[in-house]
Structure 1
Amino acid sequence: MWMITGIVATASFIALIEVPPLLKAKLKRELWLFSVLLVLGTGLSIAKSLQFPIPNPLDLLFIIFKPFSDLLFSFLK
C-alpha cells in the first residue's frame, strides 16, 4: 500500500512540475502525450509493485521475427 502511495505521490509531483509550463506555452499535443506516458508509466509501476507479471516487449519482437529467422536458417542449411 505504501509503495502505491509513493508511486502516485511521485507521479503527482512530476505532473505538478511539468504541466504548468506546458499549459502556459499552449502545447496541447505535448501535454496530451506527457499525460498518456505518465499515466502509462504510473500504471506499469503500480502493477510491478503489486507483482503482476508484465511481459517483456522483446518477446513480441521474437514472436514476429521467429518465422523469418526459421525460414532464413532453412535456406542456409
Structure 2
Amino acid sequence: MIITFFILIISIVIAFAFIPKLQKNNETKTIVIFSIFLFIGTALNIGITLNLKIPNPIDLITFIFTPIREFIVSLSK
C-alpha cells in the first residue's frame, strides 16, 4: 500500500513538472497524450505492485495473427 502511495506521488510530481511547460507553449494535444500515457503507466505500475494479473500484450497479438498465419500457410500447400 505504501508503494502505491509513492507511485501516485511520483506521477503527480512528473505531471506538475511537465504540464506547466506544455501549457506555456499551448501544446494541448501533447498534454492530452502525455496525460493518457502517464495514467496508463501509473495504473499498470499500481497493478503490478498489488499483484494483479495483467495480460501480456503478446497474447493479443498472437490471438489476432494466428488465424492469418494459418490461412497463409494453407495457401502455400
TM over 0.5, shorter chain? yes
Gaps of 5+ in 2: none
Q: Which amino acid aligns with 2:20?
A: P
> Percent same amino acid among aligned pairs?
34
Equivalent residue number for residue 74 of structure 1: 74
RMSD: 1.2
Equivalent residue number for residue 50 of structure 2: 50
Equivalent residue number for residue 62 of structure 1: 62
Equivalent residue number for residue 7 of structure 1: 7
Shift, 1:72, TM fit? 3.0
* Counterparts of 2:15 and 2:75, CA distance in 1: 53
* Counterparts of 1:59 and 1:76, CA distance in 2: 26
**Could you say what secondary structure the match of 1:51 adopts?**
coil
Q: Which amino acid aligns with 2:11?
A: A
Equivalent residue number for residue 30 of structure 2: 30
4+ aligned runs moved over 6 Å, structure 1: none
